[in-house]
Amino acid sequence: MGLHMLLLQAHFFLAMLLIFVTKSQTNFQIAKPNCTDRCGDVSIPFPFGTREGCYLSETFLVTCNHTHYDPPKPFLRHSNIEITNISLDGQLTVLQFIAKECYNRNGTEALSNNPSIRFKEFTVNNTANKFTVVGCDTYAFVSGSRNNKSGYQTGCTSQCASKDDLEDGSCSGVGCCQASIPKGVWEVELTLKSYSNFTESYDNHTTTVWDVDNCSYAFLAEESAFTFSPNSLSILRNVEELPMVVDWAIDRGTCEESQKNMSSYACKSTNSSCKGTDNGYRCYCSEGYEGNPYLIDGCKDIDECENPNLNICEKDRCLNTNGSFKCFCTKGYKGDGKKHGRGCIRGQSLVFKLVAGISIGITVLILLICWLLSILNRRKLNTMKQKFFLQNGGLLLQERLTQRQQLPVIVNIFSSAELKKATDNFHDSRIVGQGGYGTVYKGLLADNRLVAIKKSKEVDPQQVEQFINEVIVLSQINHRNVVKLLGCCLETQAPLLVYEFIENGTLFEHIHSKTKARSLSWDMRLRVAAEAAGVLAYLHSAASPPIIHRDIKSTNILLDTSFTAKVSDFGASRLVPLDQTQLSTIVQGTLGYLDPEYIQTNQLTQKSDVYSFGVVLVELLTGKKALSYDRPVEERSLANYFLLALERSCLFQVLDDNIICGGNSDELTSVAMLAKICLHVKGEDRPSMKEVAKELEGLRLAGKHSWNQTEPNEAESESLLSGKMKAFAIANGDGSSSTAIGYDNSRDHIILPMGGGR
Ligand SMILES: *[C@@H]1O[C@H](CO)[C@@H](O)[C@H](O)[C@H]1NC(C)=O
Ligand SMILES: *[C@@H]1O[C@H](CO)[C@@H](O)[C@H](O)[C@H]1NC(C)=O
Ligand SMILES: *[C@@H]1O[C@H](CO)[C@@H](O)[C@H](O)[C@H]1NC(C)=O
Ligand SMILES: *[C@@H]1O[C@H](CO)[C@@H](O)[C@H](O)[C@H]1NC(C)=O
Ligand SMILES: *[C@@H]1O[C@H](CO)[C@@H](O)[C@H](O)[C@H]1NC(C)=O
Ligand SMILES: *[C@@H]1O[C@H](CO)[C@@H](O)[C@H](O)[C@H]1NC(C)=O
Ligand SMILES: *[C@@H]1O[C@H](CO)[C@@H](O)[C@H](O)[C@H]1NC(C)=O
Ligand SMILES: *[C@@H]1O[C@H](CO)[C@@H](O)[C@H](O)[C@H]1NC(C)=O
Ligand SMILES: *[C@@H]1O[C@H](CO)[C@@H](O)[C@H](O)[C@H]1NC(C)=O
Ligand SMILES: *[C@@H]1O[C@H](CO)[C@@H](O)[C@H](O)[C@H]1NC(C)=O
Ligand SMILES: *[C@@H]1O[C@H](CO)[C@@H](O)[C@H](O)[C@H]1NC(C)=O
Ligand SMILES: *[C@@H]1O[C@H](CO)[C@@H](O)[C@H](O)[C@H]1NC(C)=O
């Protein structure tokens, strides 16, 4: 128990000590060493002092009266002016007596005083103090002396009839009045009078206002120390003094004058400044310092970091400096450390910086490598493209194009982006055809042109070659019955070819679709055949160099809306050098249409196209497919099937029902015979395409035919045909329409431009 008490006491003392320490830390030295800095409740800073050596001059002597007062009271010098506050800002608060005048009930004066006060070195603060008069039958004035100026007098009058007239806080003539005093007043005399002793016309104070109040008051005091209220009259009865603010200054001239003699200069402290007043100067601590500027080292640095109101830093981010402070951020943080600024945010540590640096470096390196690789890749791609280009006849294409400079270049170059957009990025829904060669997409160009875009299925040099080939071939053909090549796109590895779009599909569809076949009349078929034959004849003879299509079949003959034939797919086509009539190639084409002689010998001639065309003719006649596994083995190929039927003289049994109508049997027979000779096993025995074309054209225009379906001898029939063909050839040679008639047996007259037949 005793120990517990002891501990408690120890705690108490510790707490007291702590309080004392903190208090003494915050308070700074205000008086000179070995001088009392306090008298009762009032602190006495230098230049004031209570004894010699402690004050700057006699002016600042403060007498502390210990003998009569407890706590002791300070008085100015040797006067009875009590000091209640001394401020280092240059103000001094003293107590000033109130002027009072009281009356007896019989109207005689009971009490009257006229207090006065004089300072000489100090002046009454004219803004902080007001001359106030309180009473109901009263006038009063203040007068006295001013610095280097003539005297002054000012005052006011106050009246009231009853207590009800008085108003709270209103000091403007009813029961209370106020007046300001001029600057520089150092002597004050108060005079207070009642009107009842002044003029007869006024009633006795007693009779009228005695009941309201029997006293009047006047004082020059700090404005804030008095607020008028109806009770003020009675309250003031017991008040003797009120505070008054007095300005003090060092009366040694101006700052500049004083600074010349440092020993007499009052602003002794470092970090202090001087400011002149009307009657001297004052010293102030510089911004950021506090303390007593009149003492050596009196101005102390303010620790702004101690007081949150004095700094704008975040908590614990404040660093006090001499006269100021700094906001900072601890290591690893960045920012200004200010509460309403950016504050402190975690910054980059060295490790972070290192890691970031390395990552950036690596990224840059990777990007660099990627860039280099892409450049290499592009170069490689370019060389590859170049290689492809060269390998696959690109050079040839170039050569051809330059050779044919005199002709307008019909090949447009499209960008891959353009074509991607046209085909909805080669969407499956845009596919209109697919085959061994690749895929055909329907596309809509930006200018609303419908086009067919042929795209190689795989990146196969063979196919790329075909595409290039087709460009070369098609660039040389300008024929209304050939699908027009609008351009190509060589940006992609597999070139894209852009054609006019043929709306009506392939001849194959029209022959082999039951509904479509019905509407494909014989006349139309004959016209299509004639047109297709015309194209082939043109390719074989008029084109320079001659061209072998090599893949004639019903699927490669397209029909437009007016059923005009458009031959397409020149991917397998070959240009025949002028000094050659046959080419040794790998057999290529479509089964069912392939020339058997070509299959055996690998020798490609124009007659291979004639054979294939023959199969198309038979297809048109019979409406059957070129190759059908439904038929017996020997009849699987339509050519064989047809030839067998002819041998058996049952042509009309194999013809398509859709084309047999009254009066065209002769025509049908003629075409069948033409097909037959086209299908001759020996290429030599087949007619040329020109002959075939003329025959078909002749049949179409004149409705005539000249040979006999019952011709038993193949050789004879061939010669007969040859003769007829000759006639057409001659007729056409003049540029007239091929309606000429007449026969010529001399085959020598049939001259093919590419030297065919040699
Ligand atoms: C203060 O008083 C002490 C003794 O009371 C004395 O030793 C010291 O010198 C005095 N200091 C000054 C500045 O007068
Ligand atoms: C203290 O005050 C009393 C009364 O005002 C006065 O008589 C006395 O002389 C004063 N003492 C000093 C030391 O001023
Ligand atoms: C003394 O005056 C200063 C400034 O006028 C004021 O801040 C302070 O509160 C006053 N002290 C007292 C005890 O009235
Ligand atoms: C004035 O009136 C108050 C009460 O109202 C009274 O106490 C006081 O003695 C009177 N003074 C004189 C001088 O009659
Ligand atoms: C008025 O009254 C006071 C006391 O109230 C008295 O001393 C004084 O003699 C009176 N004066 C007259 C003239 O009656
Ligand atoms: C009026 O004033 C005169 C002096 O001016 C004075 O002698 C007299 O006593 C006063 N009378 C009253 C009633 O106060
Ligand atoms: C009067 O006192 C106020 C503070 O109460 C002060 O700001 C002002 O400067 C003083 N006037 C003069 C002339 O010193
Ligand atoms: C004041 O009143 C008293 C008594 O009421 C009266 O004797 C006196 O004559 C009056 N004085 C004046 C100046 O009216
Ligand atoms: C400076 O002031 C001191 C003390 O006030 C005085 O003794 C001295 O003569 C002055 N010197 C000059 C140059 O005014
Ligand atoms: C305060 O005084 C010291 C010493 O004269 C000086 O180095 C410092 O710069 C001063 N500080 C300010 C804020 O003027
Ligand atoms: C007042 O005037 C006298 C001379 O007329 C002069 O010496 C003194 O400095 C003046 N005081 C002020 C405060 O202006
Ligand atoms: C302030 O300046 C004084 C010298 O004038 C120096 O001793 C002190 O360390 C400084 N304080 C700070 C917080 O910079």
Q: Among 575, 441, 459, which Cα is nearest to 498's?
A: 441
Helix, strand, coil percent content, the chain, rounded in steps of 5? 35, 25, 40
Q: How far apart are the CA of 214 and the centre of ligand 4, in A?
A: 6
Weakest-pLDDT range from 116-120, 207-211, 722-726: 722-726
List the residue whose alpha carbon is closest to atom 14 of ligand 3.
85
Q: Which atom belonging to ligand 8 lies closest to the Cα atom of 203?
A: 14
Ligand closest to 262 (CA) is 9
List the residue whose alpha carbon is closest to atom 14 of ligand 8.
204
> Position of tokens 């054609």?
499
28: its two tokens:
């700074």
Q: How far apart are the CA of 32 and the centre of ligand 10, in A?
A: 22
Q: Which residues pair with 246 in a beta bridge?
A: 92, 124
Does the beta carbon of 245 sit less than 6 angstroms from any atom of ligand 7? Answer: yes
List the residue whose alpha carbon is closest to atom 3 of ligand 4.
214
* H or E segment and range at residue 356: helix 350-391
32, 34, 295: which to mutate for ligand 1, most atoms within 8 A of CB? 34
Please say if the pLDDT value at position 400 is more than 70: no
| Residues 244, 138: Cα–Cα separation, whole Å | 22
Phi, psi values for residue 665, rounded to 5° = -60, -35
| Residues 618, 625: Cα–Cα separation, whole Å | 9
pLDDT in tens, 702-717: 764 444 333 334 433 3
Q: Which atom belonging to ligand 6 lies closest to the Cα atom of 197?
A: 1
390-500 and 507-708+719-751 have identical folds? no
Ligand 5, residues at Cβ distance < 6 Å: 104, 106, 108
Domain limits, the chain = 91-247, 390-500, 507-708+719-751
Ligand closest to 108 (CA) is 6
Q: Among 499, 506, 505, which Cα is nearest to 451's?
A: 499
pLDDT in tens, 525-567: 888 999 999 988 988 888 777 888 888 888 889 999 899 999 9
| Residues 76, 84: Cα–Cα separation, whole Å | 10
Tell how strand 485-489 and strand 412-413 pair up.
parallel
397 Cβ contact list (under 8 Å, min separation 6): 468, 471, 472, 475
Known binding residues = 455
What is the DSSP track for 402-436?
HHTTTSPP-PEEPPHHHHHHHTTTT-GGGEEEEET
Q: How far apart are the CA of 243 and the centre of ligand 3, in A?
A: 12
> Looking at residue 637, what DSSP letter applies?
B
> Position of tokens 């505070």?
243
| Residues 393, 405: Cα–Cα separation, whole Å | 18
Higher confidence at residue 400 or residue 656? Answer: 656
List the residue whose alpha carbon is closest to atom 6 of ligand 2.
68
Question: Helices 665-678 and 606-622 sit at what angle, rounded to 10 degrees?
Answer: 150
Q: Among 741, 757, 619, 591, which Cα is nearest to 689's?
A: 757
| Residues 446, 608: Cα–Cα separation, whole Å | 41
Ligand 8, residues at Cβ distance < 6 Å: 107, 200, 204, 206-207
CATH superfamily of the 507-708+719-751 domain: Transferase(Phosphotransferase) domain 1 (1.10.510.10)
Predicted pLDDT at 460:
62
Q: How far apart are the CA of 91 and the centre of ligand 7, in A?
A: 7
| Residues 123, 246: Cα–Cα separation, whole Å | 6
> Looking at residue 633, what DSSP letter applies?
G
Q: How far apart are the CA of 430 and the centre of ligand 1, in A?
A: 111
Q: How far apart are the CA of 125 and the centre of ligand 9, in A?
A: 31
Does the beta carbon of 363 sit less than 6 angstroms from any atom of ligand 12? Answer: no
List the residue whose alpha carbon is closest to atom 8 of ligand 11.
148
Weakest-pLDDT range from 17-26, 408-417, 459-468: 17-26
Please say if the pLDDT value at position 492 is more than 60: yes
CB-based burial, 504-524: b 16+ in 10 Å, e otherwise? bbbbbbbbbeeeebeebebeb
Does the beta carbon of 199 sit less than 6 angstroms from any atom of ligand 9? Answer: no
Higher confidence at residue 229 or residue 725? Answer: 229
322, 324, 326: which to mutate for ligand 12, most atoms within 8 A of CB? 322
Strands (E), 32-134: 38-39, 42-43, 62-65, 73-76, 83-86, 91-97, 99-103, 109-112, 116-118, 123-124, 129-134
* H or E segment and range at residue 609: helix 606-622
Please say if the pLDDT value at position 724 is more than 50: no
In angstroms, how far is the first alpha carbon of the chain from the final one? 143
Q: Reduced to 3 states, what is the DSSP secondary structure of residue 715?
A: helix
Q: How far apart are the CA of 62 and the centre of ligand 9, in A?
A: 25
| Residues 95, 716: Cα–Cα separation, whole Å | 159
Does the beta carbon of 247 sit less than 6 angstroms from any atom of ligand 7? Answer: yes
Predicted pLDDT at 365:
92
| Residues 300, 268: Cα–Cα separation, whole Å | 13
Percent of the chain with pLDDT over 70: 78
Q: Which residue type occupies 40? A: G
Please say if the pLDDT value at position 412 is more than 80: no
For the stretch 594-602, contacts whose Cβ atoms lie closer than 8 Å and that sit 24 or more positions apart, written own/partner, are 595/683, 596/681, 597/681, 597/682, 597/683, 598/683
Please say if the pLDDT value at position 394 is more than 80: no
Q: How far apart are the CA of 442 and the centre of ligand 4, in A?
A: 122
Q: Which atom belonging to ligand 6 lies closest to the Cα atom of 107?
A: 13
| Residues 517, 530: Cα–Cα separation, whole Å | 18
Predicted pLDDT at 18:
37
Please list the active-site residues. Answer: 551
Region at 316 (left for phi over 0; alpha for psi -120 to 50; beta for the rest): left
Does the beta carbon of 91 sit less than 6 angstroms from any atom of ligand 7? Answer: yes
404 Cβ contact list (under 8 Å, min separation 6): 475, 476
* H or E segment and range at residue 610: helix 606-622
pLDDT in tens, 415-428: 778 888 888 888 88
Higher confidence at residue 87 or residue 466? Answer: 87
Ligand closest to 325 (CA) is 12
> Looking at residue 168, what DSSP letter applies?
T
What is the DSSP track for 5-49?
HHHHHHHHHHHHHHHHHHHHHHS---S-TTS--EETTEE--TT-B
> Looking at residue 591, what DSSP letter applies?
T
Q: Which atom belonging to ligand 2 lies closest to the Cα atom of 63?
A: 14
List the residue whose alpha carbon is closest to atom 13 of ligand 1.
33
Known binding residues for ATP = 455
Does the beta carbon of 273 sit less than 6 angstroms from any atom of ligand 10? Answer: no
pLDDT in tens, 343-372: 777 766 667 678 888 899 999 999 999 899
Percent of the chain with pLDDT over 90: 13
pLDDT in tens, 118-176: 887 899 999 999 999 998 888 899 999 888 788 889 999 988 877 777 888 888 888 88
| Residues 463, 238: Cα–Cα separation, whole Å | 125
Please say if the pLDDT value at position 255 is more than 80: yes
Q: How far apart are the CA of 87 and the centre of ligand 3, in A?
A: 7
Q: Which atom belonging to ligand 1 lies closest to the Cα atom of 33?
A: 13
Phi, psi values for residue 502, rounded to 5° = -100, 115
List the residue whose alpha carbon is closest to atom 1 of ligand 3.
85
Ligand closest to 289 (CA) is 10
> Position of tokens 């040389």?
476
Higher confidence at residue 493 or residue 266? Answer: 266
Ligand closest to 63 (CA) is 2
Q: Which atom belonging to ligand 12 lies closest to the Cα atom of 321?
A: 13
* Cβ atoms 220, 116 nearer than 8 A: no
Rounded average pLDDT over 300-328: 83
List the residue whose alpha carbon is closest to atom 4 of ligand 5.
104
Q: Which residue type occupies 118? A: R
194, 203, 204: which to mutate for ligand 8, most atoms within 8 A of CB? 204
Q: Which residue type occupies 494? A: A
Tell how strand 137-146 and strand 149-159 pair up.
antiparallel
- Look up the CATH architecture of domain 390-500: 2-Layer Sandwich (3.30)
* H or E segment and range at residue 152: strand 149-159
Does the beta carbon of 108 sit less than 6 angstroms from any atom of ligand 6? Answer: yes
Predicted pLDDT at 742:
28
Gyration radius from the chain CA atoms: 64
